[in-house]
């Protein structure tokens, strides 16, 4: 196979769109959360401002090699995840680098960033970073399970592991979406989705306001900027997978924006309603509520 060099600028374009969209959407969701709490909230361009500010900071320290590698791993994970999955169905331009691998690649590449991040923060030497990571990993190990089960369920359903083929199979009307053809799998996956979005009730990992804990606390300036970029990019990349697998994918950018927004909103919606779980509570919650759904979806498909 001859590699088409044109793919690179196309991929970069996808990246650019998604990053900006992610930053705006992230802020917007924040704002929705704030409004529910009768607060005013941040302006939607706040993330852009933060990014510029972070690059502008002149103080710059390092703890060692892994300290550098952490954010790099993290953002590589986000970018890779996005690029290994076709963004717009039917568009050669935005099919990105999905020739490299199928659904399984995406499924496992999710962990690339998490692992690298965990390592980078560790080198700062602050115990809180490590504690944050243990919480994150513990929760993730169980939260990802229903998603993995759901994925397998639909792979069985469509008899393929290729994301493009899965999306193709859902074309031709909403009722062809996995949401309707395999509701159990989607339910399991959407519960799992809550666990990976770092929003209540599963946000003890970051505990953003009250406990200065977890990897982001350890970083500043351009390191933080990289991570922030990822923070904007990664949820979207993840949602793209969900969208492709369960909600028929997107054939154009507007549909893409709309679907991504709605899926994102799901986690925000749950988040503003429910209080926070401790780690062992959330592990049990996934085990009791989400995993059985996933198991059923596998058995019944």
DSSP state, residue 277: P
DSSP state, residue 174: G
Q: Which positions from 157 through 196 interact with another protein, judged by CB under 8 A? A: 159-162
Among 52, 53, 134, 262, binds another protein (CB under 8 A): 134
Among 28, 94, 223, 247, binds another protein (CB under 8 A): 223
Smallest CA-to-CA distance from 221 within 51, 46, 45, 42 is with 51
Q: What number of CA atoms fall less than 13 Å from residue 83's CA on the CB side?
A: 17
Residue 278: strand, helix, or coil: coil
Q: Which positions from 49 through 78 interact with another protein, judged by CB under 8 A? A: 55, 60-66, 68-69, 71-73, 75-76
Nearer to another protein, 175 or 287 (CB): 287
| Residue 78 CB neighbours (<10 A) | 30
Q: Are 169 and 158 in contact (CB under 8 A)?
A: yes
Question: Is residue 94 involved in binding another protein (CB under 8 A)?
Answer: no
Question: Is residue 115 involved in binding another protein (CB under 8 A)?
Answer: yes
Segment contacting another protein by CB under 8 A, of 139-147, 169-177, 233-241, 265-273:
139-147
Segment contacting another protein by CB under 8 A, of 140-148, 173-181, 232-240, 259-267:
140-148
Q: Which positions from 22 through 41 interact with another protein, judged by CB under 8 A? A: none
Question: Is residue 112 involved in binding another protein (CB under 8 A)?
Answer: yes
Total residues at interface with another protein (CB under 8 A): 78
Q: Are 109 and 240 in contact (CB under 8 A)?
A: no
Residue 170 C-alpha from the chain's centroid: 22
Among 25, 88, 118, 236, binds another protein (CB under 8 A): 118
Q: Which positions from 224 through 243 interact with another protein, judged by CB under 8 A? A: 226
Q: Give the span between the Cα atoms of 50 and 32, in whole angstroms.
A: 19
Q: How far is CA 128 from CA 61, 74, 122, 133, 280, in A?
A: 19, 19, 9, 8, 18
Nearer to another protein, 25 or 81 (CB): 81
Q: Which positions from 241 through 300 interact with another protein, judged by CB under 8 A? A: 278-281, 283-284, 287, 291, 294-295, 298-299
Q: Which positions from 202 through 221 interact with another protein, judged by CB under 8 A? A: 221
Segment contacting another protein by CB under 8 A, of 45-53, 98-106, 236-244, 261-269:
98-106
Q: How far is CA 40 from CA 26, 28, 130, 187, 265, in A?
A: 15, 12, 34, 33, 18
Q: How far is the CB of 146 from another protein (least distance, A)?
A: 9
Segment contacting another protein by CB under 8 A, of 28-36, 100-108, 254-262, 268-276:
100-108
Q: How far is the CB of 27 from another protein (least distance, A)?
A: 23
Residue 148: strand, helix, or coil: helix
Q: Give the span between the Cα atoms of 87 and 7, in whole angstroms.
A: 13
């Amino acid at each position: 196979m001859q590699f088409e060099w044109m793919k690179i600028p196309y991929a970069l374009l996808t990246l650019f769109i998604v990053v900006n969209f992610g930053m705006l959407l992230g802020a917007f969701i924040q704002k929705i959360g704030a409004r529910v709490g009768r607060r005013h909230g941040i302006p939607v361009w706040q993330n852009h401002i933060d990014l510029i500010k972070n690059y502008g900071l002149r103080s710059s320290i390092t703890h060692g090699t892994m300290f550098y590698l952490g954010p790099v791993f993290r953002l590589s994970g986000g970018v890779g995840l996005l690029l290994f999955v076709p963004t717009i169905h039917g568009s050669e331009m935005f099919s990105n680098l999905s020739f490299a691998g199928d659904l399984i690649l995406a499924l496992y590449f999710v962990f690339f960033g998490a692992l690298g991040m965990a390592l980078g923060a560790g080198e700062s030497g602050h115990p809180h970073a490590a504690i944050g990571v243990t919480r994150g990993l513990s929760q993730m190990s169980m939260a990802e399970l229903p998603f993995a089960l759901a994925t397998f369920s639909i792979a069985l359903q469509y008899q393929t592991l290729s994301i493009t083929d899965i999306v193709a199979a859902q074309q031709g009307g909403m009722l062809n979406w996995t949401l309707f053809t395999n509701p159990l799998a989607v339910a399991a996956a959407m519960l799992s989705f809550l666990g990976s979005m770092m929003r209540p009730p599963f946000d003890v990992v970051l505990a953003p306001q009250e406990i200065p804990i977890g990897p982001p606390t350890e970083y500043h300036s351009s390191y933080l900027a990289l991570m922030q970029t990822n923070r904007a990019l990664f949820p979207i990349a993840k949602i793209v997978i969900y969208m492709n697998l369960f909600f028929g994918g997107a054939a154009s950018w507007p549909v893409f924006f709309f679907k991504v927004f709605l899926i994102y909103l799901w986690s925000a919606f749950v988040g503003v309603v429910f209080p926070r779980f401790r780690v062992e509570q959330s592990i049990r919650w996934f085990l009791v509520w989400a995993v059985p759904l996933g198991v059923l979806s596998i058995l019944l498909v």
